[in-house]
Amino acid sequence: MLTKRSAEGVILIDHRNSPGISPEFMRANNLPGPAVGAGVVFESAVIVCKHCGTDVVLNPNRSREREYCQKCDGYICDSCGLMRKLGGAHRPMIKILADLYNRLTR
């Protein structure tokens, strides 16, 4: 039986033998993701947004509820969750790719 968590992946960033990356460097270069310092190992679950296909690193310290689409039966990123709350059209990534495929194969 599949669960919502069975679609998760894992990200592992190991900086035990490297200088690491500072939060200032991440902000200055507009890089997404966690800043993992020197001598630190970061491991977390990762999901793919059902609507836009973005990889989402799940913050283990998150206190608010994760966005979820009942039509897709899957988790979505915060941006797509906001669009859904504002009344945006339901366009999951699988539908967008299927439409594109159909257009290209006509």
Distance CA 88, CA 27 (A): 30
Please identify which residue in the block is written with the tokens 């594109």: 100
Distance CA 95, CA 54 (A): 15
**Is this structure's pTM higher than 0.85?**
no
Cα distances (Å, whole numbers) of residue 67 to 9, 80, 83, 94: 18, 8, 11, 18
**Nearest Cα residue to 57 out of 82, 85, 25, 31:** 31
Report pLDDT digits (tens) over 7-37.
789 999 999 999 999 999 999 999 888 889 9
pLDDT value of position 60: 79
The answer to whether 15 and 36 have CB atoms below 8 angstroms apart is yes
5 pLDDT more than 80: no
Report pLDDT digits (tens) over 42-81.
999 999 999 999 999 888 788 889 898 988 888 899 999 9
